[in-house]
Amino acid sequence: MNQLLNVVMAQLNPLVGDIQANTQLVMDKSLEASRDLNADVIVFSELMLTAYPPEDLLLRPSMELRVAKALATLQWFSRETPEVHNLHIVVGYPAVRGDKLYNMAGVIHQGELICEYAKQCLPNYQVFDEKRYFAEGREACIFKINGLPVGITICEDIWAPEPTQQAADLGAKLMLNLNASPFHMGKAQSRQQLLAERAQQSNIAVIYTNQFGGQDELIFDGGSMAVDSDGTVCRSAPLFEEGLYLVEVEINGSPESGDLSCSIKLGEIAPTLSEQASAYQALVLGVRDYVNKNGFPGIALGLSGGIDSGLTVAIAVDALGKDRVHAVMMPFKYTSQMSLDDAAEQAKILGIKYSVIPIEAIYNTYMAALEDEFSGTERDTTEENLQARCRGVIMMAISNKKRLMVLTTGNKSEMAVGYATLYGDMVGGYGVLKDTYKTLVFELSRYRNTLSPAIPTRVIERPPSAELAPDQKDTDSLPDYDELDQILEFYIEHDYSADAIVAQGFDKDTVYRIVRLVDLNEYKRRQAPMGARITPRGFGRDRRYPTTSGWAVSDKTQ
């Protein structure tokens, strides 16, 4: 008679560095899985005890002691808690073995650490730098549950064929893969395709548990899943939701025969999300976790009546609730009545606290103080930037007084070409749209309004303007955003040279100007707040260029 093995994917939101709380979360969820889901196995995410990525916390001398204490606590819990006595707890953690630090996963059962696996494939690209910290593992880890040989791999191991095949060659019929795989648009589909390919190649069923939650600029979207050996996705957890998700594994054969196999029973398949829905949920999650995990009571932001701040405030309300959002309109003489009306209307729609603080008197005071310094000079962007800096001072004063974190509203297109003011609209703690191109800002604004009224239609349809000069439009100094974003994507996401972008059909002078602006404004991006990463190549962790550089837009050797 076939046996049923209940495996629970624990898609949870741990806090980086809080080993004690994360350990308690493992115990609480293990008890819940055993009691409510009759679990035989619970699989947590990569480095669950520290959460991912712990970065240079791994270099702290006390890290080894804290993790060892956490493992001892879990072993005690497994031994002394009758409800979990038969549960296999599969958990990730960093561990020193010999004189090397490994990215490890261990199996705790009946009070014993019955086996450990060290991650073999250490990613060192994009947002990952694991070779800075960890040594590579070499060996497979196989243990048996009810006679079924089960293997363990960790995250990047599943992206290479060798670790899975190594375990399959040693007899593993089921692979448990612990993950901390960050989100970017399109990532969920590529994961599913990869798991199907890996399962088919090695003829092994795979259960994939992924971390959930926001961690600084990284967003972990969950999306845990179970794939049968023929590549069929038999069970999947929702994206952007925390929870315990049961996978039923049917063990075929008998332990006495020594020839067991398994198959995953068809279970609930979570709905897929559109690109706009997944990007929007990622931005909401990023704001919620950054604000909450850092202990802020709420946020403040400048609401200009434009689309960037309009989308940002909608995201903030969805992340935190209307009572924790304070929007401030800071008009100047160039601010149109349309902007004043639209900002007030949106604040009313969303039900948030809304203040109007004119900046003209403040600006005039600055200009009077600078009169001698500016004597004999012509008006230029200095005066425009001073307007933005007046607003930045106001927002940071509100932040200091009320302990509200300031959200910046600049998008990726603007940050790429430096269309932002240092110590002005760039001041704040978190850049919500920092990795969101302007064309996507429009898409997400329209998408958000399909859920409920949030952003006035006129805000979305009017030509974008910083309103720092009379009748100013973004297109006065930049190409249309449709064209600009295509050039930026080629240059930033795909590393095309300027000439290679021109070969795609774009105007040479325009391309050279945009590429030069991207290169010149690295110094601004270095001083910008972090923001949610939703593309495959975000500024900061992903794209690291020198500020001081003699690199030219075009070179004969290119």
> Looking at the domain assignment, is residue 525 inside a domain?
no
- Cβ neighbour number for residue 32 with a 10 Å cutoff: 17
Q: pTM for the whole thing?
A: 0.94
**Which residue in the list 119, 434, 438, 524 is annotated as catalytic?**
119
Q: Please answer whether residues 164 and 153 qualify as being in contact, where contact means their C-beta atoms are separated by less than 8 angstroms.
A: yes
Domain CATH for 125:
3.60.110.10
pLDDT at position 86: 93
- pLDDT band of residue 117 (cuts 50, 70, 90) is very high
| pLDDT > 70 fraction of the chain, expressed in percent and rounded | 97
**Which residue in the list 29, 46, 130, 234 is annotated as catalytic?**
46
> Looking at the domain assignment, is residue 476 inside a domain?
no
- pLDDT band of residue 2 (cuts 50, 70, 90) is confident
pLDDT at position 188: 92
**Which residue in the list 121, 141, 155, 390 is annotated as catalytic?**
155
Instruction: Indicate the number of domains in the chain.
Output: 2
Domain span at residue 85 reads: 3-269
**Helix, strand, or coil (residue 46):** coil
- pLDDT band of residue 556 (cuts 50, 70, 90) is very low
Same domain, 263 and 299: no
Per-residue model confidence as pLDDT tens digits over 229-256: 999 999 999 999 999 999 999 998 876 6
Same domain, 195 and 344: no
> Nearest to residue 435, comparing CAs of 536, 546, 320, 515?
536
Determine the average pLDDT of the residues in 286-293: 98
- pLDDT band of residue 541 (cuts 50, 70, 90) is confident
Per-residue model confidence as pLDDT tens digits over 449-481: 999 999 999 999 988 776 676 777 767 778 999
Which of residues 440, 470, 500 is at a domain's end? 470
> Looking at the domain assignment, is residue 30 inside a domain?
yes
| Identity of residue 192 | Q
Note if 46 is an active site residue: yes
Same domain, 171 and 283: no
Q: Is the pLDDT of residue 557 over 90?
A: no
> Looking at the domain assignment, is residue 31 inside a domain?
yes
Question: Can you tell me the distance from the alpha carbon of 234 to that of 228, in angstroms, rounded to the nearest whole number?
Answer: 7
Note if 155 is an active site residue: yes
145: its two tokens? 């549950």
Same domain, 8 and 132: yes
- 167-172 contacts at long range (C-beta below 8 A, 24 or more positions apart): 167/140, 167/141, 167/142, 167/202, 167/204, 168/202, 168/203, 168/204, 170/140, 170/142, 171/142, 172/140, 172/142, 172/204
> Looking at the domain assignment, is residue 486 inside a domain?
no
